[in-house]
Amino acid sequence: MFSRRAGLVGIMCVFSLLAVTGCASGKEYHVSIEGSDQNPGSVLKPFKTISAAAEIAQPGDVITVHEGIYRERINPPRGGESDAKRITYQAAKGQKVVIKGSEAIKGWQKVQNDTWKVSISNSFFGDFNPYSDLIRGDWFNGKGRQHHTGAVYLNDHWLTEAAKLDDVLRPVGHAAGAYLPGQSQYLLNVAWFKAGAGSQKISAGAFAAQHGIQTEPNPEGGKNVGWIEHGDWVRYDKVDFGQSTNQIEIRASSATRGGIIEIRSDSPDGELLGTCPVPNTGGWHSWFSFNAKIKPVSGTQTICMVFTSSQSENASGLRLWFAQVDASNTTIWAQFKDVNPNEGNVEINVRQSVFYPEMPGMNYITVRGFTLMHAATNWAPPTAEQVGLIGTHWSKGWIIENNDICYSVCTGVTLGKHGDEFDNTSANSAEGYVKTIERGLARGWSKDNIGSHIVCNNRIAHCEQAGIVGSLGPIFSTVTGNTIHDIHVCQLFTGAEMAGIKFHGAVDTEISHNHIYRTNRGIWLDWMTQGTRVTQNLLHDNGPSEDLFVEVNHGPFLVDNNILLSRTSLLVNSQGGAYVHNLFNGRVRVIVGERRLTPHLKEHGTEVAGLAPNPSGDERFYNNIFANGGLAEYDRVKLPVFMDGNVSLKGAKPSKHETTSIVQPETDPAIKLVEEDDGIFLQMNLDKAWSNKQPRKMVTTELLGKAKIPDLPYIQPDGSPYRIDTNYFGKSRDTNNPFPGPFIKPEIQNIRVKVWSSK
C-alpha cells in the first residue's frame, strides 16, 4: 500500500521503536466490529468502538483495532506522557482497518435523467451538518459561489458539488464546463490588447463585477479578472482599435487543455468578430500571446471574449451533487449513471474529522496502519484552528505512520495551531499573522510544548486544500517517506493555502524522502522557515504552480538532493536559502521587491528576534543541474548571491553571478520518468566529463556561511555542522570533487535509476 524510496530499507520512523518498547509496560485493549462497548476490551471480549477504548486508555497503553469498517470520530481524551510512555492506536497486523467520517445512505428516489434524491432528517447529523456548513476562512476564495464541507461518495470516490440544482438535474456530462477545472478552465489574466498600431489599455468589465472577483494588477499590466470557464465570458469596454485592422493580439495567462476564444462585439452573443486558439498547456499556466484574425474594426468598441473548451461538456463523465437544508430535513440530489444508489455503495459526509482531539495538549499519541477517509473538513488557514481528517491540535510528539489518508474536503493531516476568538479575523494580512504568532507564543509555542511530530510512510491523497498543513505546529517535526498526490486538482475553490505540504513556521523541520505529484503545488514553506531541511524528495507533475515555493523566509534553510521535474521547479520569495545538488528540470522564478515585514527567530527556537523585509537575494546555489530554466532571474536581486559548480542544459540560462559553472544550452539531458510495476525510474543523460571540466567543492556549513538577516549559520537542529557528502540514495560522494546533481558520477552516459519503489 505504501511507496518507499529505492535504496532505503523501508524508511522507518526514527521513534517507532520507542513507541513499541515504551508501551511494553502498559495494557493492550482490543477493538472489533463484533465486540461490545460493554466488554472489558480484552482480546476475547473486545470493544466495539475505538472511542470506547480511547476513553479508558492511559499513558503506556496500546489500542489494537481489528479488521472492519468503523464509522466514528476518535476524540482522544488524553495523551501520553513521553516518547517512552505514549498512547498507541494501531491496526492489527495484517488486517485492513478503515475509519470513515461518512455514513452509508439508502432510500434514494429516481427524479429524472441520471438524477436521484434522498431526504434525511436533520437530527441524523446531530450538531454538525456538513450540507449547511460553508467552507470559509482567511485567504479563501470561493470563485464566486458557495461550497460546503459535505460530500457524496460512490464506491469511496467523491462526486462534485454543483453550484445550482439545475446542473444536477441534467444527464451526466451535460452540466456547464465549470465542473471541469484544470481541463476546461482558462485563466484569462489579460495584460493588453495589441490592435492596429499600438497597445491599448483595457478595463475589467462586467465579468469581474458580476462574479465578485477582485481585480488586481499583474506583472504585465492590466487587470486579473479571474477564471473564465467553458461557456463563460468577459467584457472589455472602450477598446480603442485605432485605424482599421484585421488582427488582435491578446497577452494573457493560460491554464487549460485547449480550446477557442470567440471575440464578439458588445455582448456574449453579439457579432462574431473573430476567433483565436488557446493552446493545450497540460494544466499548468504560463504567459502567452494569442493572435486572432478578426473582421476589420476601427474606433472604440466594447468587445466580449467567450471561451469554449476543446473538451466538450458532453465528453465528461463527471457526476454532480447538490444539497438543500431546511428547518427539518436535508435533501441531496446526486447523479448516478447506470447505477442504482440503493444497491450500490453510496455514502455521505457526517463528521468533520476522523481522528482529531477536541482539546489541545493531547501529547505523545501514535496512529499507525489505518485507512482514514471521508472528512468534512473546513478551510485551514494559518490564522485559525486547523482541523484535518487527522490532526494533532496544538500538541507535541505525535507519530502518524503507515496510514492511508484520503478524501478530505479541505485537508488531510494538520499539525496546526490552537483556536481562539481571533480565528479568521486577520483580514488576509501580514499584520494579522504577526498577531497570530504573538498569541501562539503566549499559548506556549515552543519546543517544550508543541511540535516534534513524526509523519511518515503515509499515502495522502484527494484533499482539496492540502495534504499536510501546519501553522506554528510543525516545529521540530519530521515529514518523511510519504506519498502525496491528487491535492487541489478539482479546483472548484482556491485561496492561498493549497499544496501537497503547506507549513507556516517550519523551524528545524525535516521534509525528506517524500514522493509528491499531481498537486497544485508540491511544497510551500511560508514564513519562518528556519533551520529546515528539504532533502531527497521526488516531485513531478505538479502545477499549475510549482514543485517548491519558499515565501518570505529569512533562513537559514537547506534544500538538497531533490529531484524537481515539474514545468516550474522553484519559486523564491525569500532569502537565506541554500540549494545544493538538486536536479531542476523546470523554470526557476524569483520575486523581487517583497515589502512585507516577516519574523526571523533566535537559533533553534521560536522566540522572535526581529521583523525584516524581504528584499531578495542572499541565496546559495551549489552543484545543481538545471534544464529548461536556470538562474538568470537572480541577476536582478538586491542582496549578494553565491553560485558555483552548477550545470545549465537545454536552454537553461545561468546567472551573471555564476563564473565557474558549465553551460551547455544545446545539450538535452532527455529527462523522463517511467512508471513500472515495481517503482518509478528516471532516465536521463549525464556526462562524466562534467567532473573534469569543473572541479567542485564539498558543500559544508563552513562553505555556506551565514544567512544575512538572522546572522545565523547553516547547521543541523542538534547544532552539528552540515556536510553534504551523500546523494539522493544516501550513497557516498567523491568528497574531493563531488559530481553535480543528486547522483554520484555515472559509469555510462544514459542512466536509468529507480527513484521510487512501489514495494
Kindly report the CATH number assigned to the domain that includes residue 169: 2.60.40.1180
Q: pLDDT-derived band of residue 315, with 50, 70 and 90 as boundaries?
A: very low
pLDDT exceeds 80 at position 204: no
Q: Domain holding 242: CATH number?
A: 2.60.120.260
For the chain, what percent of residues have pLDDT higher than 90?
70
Q: Is the domain of 109 the same as that of 198?
A: no
DSSP β-bridge partners for residue 608 = 601
Q: Is the peptide bond before 669 cis (omega within 30 degrees of 0)?
A: no
Quick one: pLDDT at residue 242? 62
pLDDT exceeds 70 at position 9: no
DSSP letter at 659 equals: S
Q: Is the domain of 227 the same as that of 171?
A: no
Q: 343-390: per-residue pLDDT in tens?
A: 999 999 999 999 999 999 999 999 999 999 999 999 999 999 999 999
Q: Is the domain of 213 the same as that of 278?
A: yes
| Residues ≥6 apart with Cβ < 8 Å to 263 | 248, 272, 273, 274, 275, 276, 292, 294, 303, 304, 305
Residue in the block written with cell 485547449:
258
In a domain, 499, yes or no: no
Of 133-147, 162-176, 480-494, the least confident? 162-176
Q: 90-102: per-residue pLDDT in tens?
A: 999 999 999 999 9
Quick one: pLDDT at residue 381? 96
Q: Which of 265, 289, 313 is the last residue of a domain?
A: 313
Residue type at 216 in one-letter notation = E
Residue in the block written with cell 558549465:
662
Of 4-18, 243-257, 416-430, 555-569, the least confident? 4-18
**What cell does 404 get?**
492511508
pLDDT exceeds 60 at position 12: no
Quick one: pLDDT at residue 732? 96
Quick one: pLDDT at residue 261? 76
Tell me how far apart the alpha carbons of residues 446 and 175 are, in angstroms, rounded to a whole number. Answer: 51
Answer for the pair 457, 4: CB distance below 8 angstroms, yes or no.
Answer: yes
157-158 and 365-368 strand pairing: unpaired
pLDDT exceeds 60 at position 203: no
What does residue 500 show for φ and ψ, rounded to 5 degrees? Answer: -60, -45
Q: Which of 269, 289, 313 is the last residue of a domain?
A: 313
Answer for the pair 468, 484: CB distance below 8 angstroms, yes or no.
Answer: yes
Q: Is the domain of 305 the same as that of 197?
A: yes
Angle at 721 between CA 719 and CA 725, to 5 degrees: 140
CB-CB neighbours of 197 under 10 Å: 10
Quick one: pLDDT at residue 208? 38
Quick one: pLDDT at residue 21? 39
Q: pLDDT-derived band of residue 148, with 50, 70 and 90 as boundaries?
A: very high
DSSP β-bridge partners for residue 117 = 109, 333
Tell me how far apart the alpha carbons of residues 582 and 736 are, in angstroms, rounded to a whole number. Answer: 19
For the chain, what percent of residues have pLDDT higher than 70?
82
Quick one: pLDDT at residue 109? 97
Q: Please give the residue that has the higher pLDDT: either 463 or 13.
A: 463
329-335 and 625-627 strand pairing: unpaired
Instruction: For the chain, give the mean pLDDT.
Output: 86
b/e burial code for range 385-420 (CB count within 10 A of at least 16 → b): bbbbbbbbbbbbbbbbbbbbbbbbbbbbbbbbbbee
In this structure, the dihedral spanned by the alpha carbons of residues 254, 468, 395 and 556, taken in order and rounded to 10 degrees, is -70
Tell me how far apart the alpha carbons of residues 525 and 505 are, in angstroms, rounded to a whole number. Answer: 8
Q: Please give the residue that has the higher pLDDT: either 278 or 412.
A: 412
> Across residues 508-529, what is the average pLDDT?
97
In a domain, 153, yes or no: yes
Q: 654-671: per-residue pLDDT in tens?
A: 999 998 899 999 999 999
What pTM was computed for the model? 0.84
In a domain, 157, yes or no: yes
Range of the domain at 168: 103-175+318-349
CB-CB neighbours of 128 under 10 Å: 14
Tell me how far apart the alpha carbons of residues 28 and 409 are, in angstroms, rounded to a whole number. Answer: 34
Quick one: pLDDT at residue 291? 65
Residue-by-residue DSSP string for 573-624: E-BSEEEES-EE-SEEEE---EEEEEEEE-TTS--EEEEEEE-SB--EEES-
Quick one: pLDDT at residue 299? 72
> Across residues 66-89, what is the average pLDDT?
98
In a domain, 300, yes or no: yes
DSSP β-bridge partners for residue 409 = none
Residue-by-residue DSSP string for 94-151: T--EEEESEEE----EEEETTEEEEEEEGGGGTT--TTT-B---TTEE-TTS--BS--
Q: 15-73: per-residue pLDDT in tens?
A: 444 444 344 579 999 999 999 999 999 999 999 999 999 999 999 999 999 999 999 99
In a domain, 338, yes or no: yes
Rg of the chain over all Cα atoms, to the nearest angstrom? 27
pLDDT exceeds 70 at position 728: yes
Domain count, the chain: 2
pLDDT exceeds 50 at position 10: no
Q: Is the domain of 213 the same as that of 258?
A: yes
pLDDT exceeds 50 at position 205: no
Q: Is the domain of 224 the same as that of 273?
A: yes
Q: 156-190: per-residue pLDDT in tens?
A: 999 999 999 999 999 988 775 556 554 334 444 44
Answer for the pair 11, 456: CB distance below 8 angstroms, yes or no.
Answer: yes
Quick one: pLDDT at residue 179? 61
Q: Is the domain of 303 the same as that of 233?
A: yes
Q: pLDDT-derived band of residue 216, with 50, 70 and 90 as boundaries?
A: very low
> Across residues 207-227, what is the average pLDDT?
40
